[in-house]
């Protein structure tokens, strides 16, 4: 149901037999209690406006509905600014005049409350809605700019032309913390710049989708700790080091398809080349804690990047073949060695390419402090072999009868601190005896709740195993004893998306 369609809902929609019951109950509650109920129910449960949530109050305009129940509720709702501080504006060419007036009323009722604003195409539409937007659509952008001093969170899915209407907000966003921008750029449109964020002193989280340029930034984002971009470039890395030096969580997706564009440290946009290890364009922010790299040539970027020793979480999501015969983890090993970091979480997702087992084993020897591990190898070319090899590597007591032809040193447990395993596989993988044995043996580890060092040859007890959506009955019988002893096993891991989310 659209934003404007909700305005047609009235109390008459409630069955007559229920109205007397509702009336009696509402009169039994004092106004301050009703206020608390309204606030509790309407306040979104998620932190960022672009996070998806199934809770109705995170997706609908319930403040409008409250005013349709009765006069008492309308008076309470209309004079409770906090419930009007979240507004979702789905862009549609239909009834745009009425929508504009409704948005004006909504923002006025919020009074001086910090605002969380979403402007995006209506659920039944796509970005193409902007190709025939009404004259009132730019007016909506101009209207929300009038309230920019109250912006706390902003989510915009639009075109470069309409995003330009936000530029007057420059220097008028003192409390803005979270921004999500999805720009529908094409080869015929000019790049989307974030000039309106040029002086946003309190900005903490920025998600930038659809463009690879940032311009017009005149003051550093010293409070920015989370940055995500799905069209990353080397120029953007240099920008972050200069203007966002305190970034701790970095999620970069590189669109480059050819390793020739970045060989020897060449900037994909400049066409020049120089020694990568002496090129500061490959430097990552000095306070970085979490790094996710996604793309078609991830090993080439990892090969040259320089991370600080503060890095604790690393995730690599590899698309396609990358002009390789198999995926080697040696660049990741070198990356960790250069950073001299102590990883606490590591994730890897490989598509199509067969995995180099020997280099993966060598990588696991470097992850002695990792507590959380994410593995997605369900679509690799040597998937059937990985169903045996990966569980065997993680098994502290590998069964010689199930050994493979690969000569691996299993003299001591790998990943001795592992407590949480995220494993994206298919039903046939879950039936593997290697996997069952590994989980059983890991559950025999010691509890390390005090955080003390693990003795040589020892390992920590496995606490959580999270699989992707599959048949939950496959492992329930085989691991019933471990589950009864406290092992948490779930089947809610998504096939795609952020590995550790």
Structure tokens at 96: 């745009």
Residue 450 is predicted with a pLDDT of 54
Residue bearing tokens 């793309």: 295
pLDDT value, residue 9: 35
d(CA 481, CA 396): 19
Q: Which residue in the block uniquely carries the two structure tokens 């109205």?
A: 19
The answer to whether 214 and 196 have CB atoms below 8 angstroms apart is: no
- Are 45 and 39 spatial neighbours (Cβ–Cβ below 8 Å)? no
DSSP at 240: H
What token pair was written down for 458? 């020892």
Q: Report phi then psi at 331, rounded to 5.
A: -60, -35
DSSP 8-state symbol, 462: P
The neighbouring-strand residues paired with 205 are 178, 226
Quickly count: other Cβ atoms within 10 Å of residue 254's Cβ.
Answer: 25
Tell me if 299 sits within 8 A of 327, measured CB to CB. yes
- The three-class DSSP label of residue 315 is strand
- Other C-beta atoms lying within 10 Å of the C-beta of residue 218: 10
Residues 363, 6: Cα–Cα separation, whole Å: 55
Place of tokens 């009074």: 111
Q: Which two tokens stand for residue 204?
A: 């903490």
- pTM value > 0.85: no
Give residue 208's pLDDT.
84
Helix (H) or strand (E) holding 156: strand 151-158
Q: Which residues, 6+ apart, have CB-to-CB distance to 135 below 8 Å? A: 96
Cβ contact 288:246 at 8 Å: no
- For the record, the structure tokens of 88 come out as 């979702």
pLDDT for the residue 365: 93
Residue 117 is inside which H or E element, if any?
A: strand 115-121
**Is 380 in a helix, a strand, or coil?**
strand
Residue 401's CB: how many other CB atoms inside 10 A?
6
How confident is the model at residue 210, as a pLDDT? Answer: 72
Per-residue pLDDT for the chain (501 aa), expressed as one digit of tens each?
Answer: 344 344 433 334 445 555 555 555 556 677 677 767 666 666 655 544 445 554 444 545 667 766 666 777 777 777 778 878 888 887 776 666 777 888 888 899 889 999 999 888 765 555 555 556 666 678 888 999 999 999 999 998 887 778 888 899 999 999 999 999 887 765 445 556 678 888 899 999 999 887 666 766 778 899 999 999 887 777 788 888 888 999 999 998 887 655 555 544 444 444 344 444 456 768 899 999 999 999 888 888 888 899 999 999 999 998 876 667 788 899 999 999 999 999 999 999 887 778 888 999 999 999 999 999 998 876 665 666 677 788 889 999 877 665 554 566 666 789 999 999 998 876 555 667 888 899 999 999 998 655 556 777 789 999 999 887 766 667 777 888 999 999 998 887 766 666 766
Please measure the distance between the N-terminal and C-terminal CA atoms of the chain and give it in whole angstroms.
29
Cite the beta strand spans of 249-371 per DSSP E: 249-254, 290-295, 313-318, 345-352
């Amino acid at each position: 149901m659209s934003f404007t369609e909700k305005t047609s809902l009235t109390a008459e929609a409630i069955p007559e037999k229920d109205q007397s019951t509702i009336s009696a109950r509402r009169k039994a509650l004092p106004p301050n209690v009703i206020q608390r109920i309204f606030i509790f129910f309407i306040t979104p449960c998620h932190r960022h406006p672009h996070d998806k949530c199934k809770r109705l109050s995170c997706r609908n305009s319930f403040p409008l509905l409250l005013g349709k129940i009765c006069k008492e509720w309308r008076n309470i709702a209309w004079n409770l600014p906090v419930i009007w501080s979240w507004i979702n504006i789905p862009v549609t060419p239909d009834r745009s005049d009425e929508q504009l007036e409704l948005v004006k009323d909504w923002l006025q009722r919020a009074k001086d409350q910090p605002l969380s604003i979403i402007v995006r195409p209506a659920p039944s539409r796509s970005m193409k809605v902007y190709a025939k937007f009404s004259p009132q659509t730019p007016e909506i952008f101009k209207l929300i700019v009038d309230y920019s001093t109250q912006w706390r969170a902003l989510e915009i899915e639009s075109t470069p032309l309409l995003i330009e209407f936000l530029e007057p907000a420059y220097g008028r966003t003192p409390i803005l913390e979270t921004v999500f921008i999805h720009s529908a750029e094409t080869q015929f449109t000019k790049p989307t710049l974030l000039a309106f964020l040029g002086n946003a002193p309190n900005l903490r989280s920025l998600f930038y989708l659809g463009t690879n340029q940032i311009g017009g930034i005149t003051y550093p984002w010293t409070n920015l700790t989370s940055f995500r971009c799905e069209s990353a470039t080397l120029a953007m890395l240099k920008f972050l080091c200069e203007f966002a030096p305190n970034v701790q969580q970095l999620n970069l997706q590189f669109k480059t398809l050819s390793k020739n564009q970045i060989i020897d440290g060449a900037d994909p946009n400049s066409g020049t080349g120089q020694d990568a290890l002496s090129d500061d364009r490959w430097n990552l922010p000095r306070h970085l804690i979490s790094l996710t790299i996604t793309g078609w040539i991830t090993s080439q970027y990892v090969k040259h990047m320089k991370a600080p020793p503060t890095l604790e979480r690393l995730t690599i999501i590899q698309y396609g073949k990358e002009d390789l015969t198999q995926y080697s983890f040696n660049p990741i090993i070198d990356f960790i060695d250069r950073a001299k970091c102590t990883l606490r979480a590591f994730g890897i997702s490989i598509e199509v390419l067969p995995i180099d087992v020997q280099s993966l084993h060598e990588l696991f020897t470097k992850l002695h402090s990792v507590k959380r591990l994410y593995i997605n190898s369900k679509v690799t070319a040597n998937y059937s072999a990985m169903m045996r090899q990966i569980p065997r590597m993680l098994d502290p007591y590998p069964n010689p009868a199930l050994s493979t032809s690969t000569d691996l040193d299993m003299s001591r447990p790998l990943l001795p601190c592992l407590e949480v395993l995220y494993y994206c596989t298919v039903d046939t993988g879950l039936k593997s005896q290697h996997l069952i044995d590994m989980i059983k043996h890991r559950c025999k580890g010691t509890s390390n709740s005090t955080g003390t060092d693990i003795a040589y040859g020892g390992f920590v007890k496995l606490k959580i195993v999270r699989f992707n959506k599959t048949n939950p009955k496959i492992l329930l019988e085989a691991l019933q004893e471990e589950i009864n002893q406290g092992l948490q096993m779930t089947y809610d891991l998504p096939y795609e998306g952020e590995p550790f989310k």
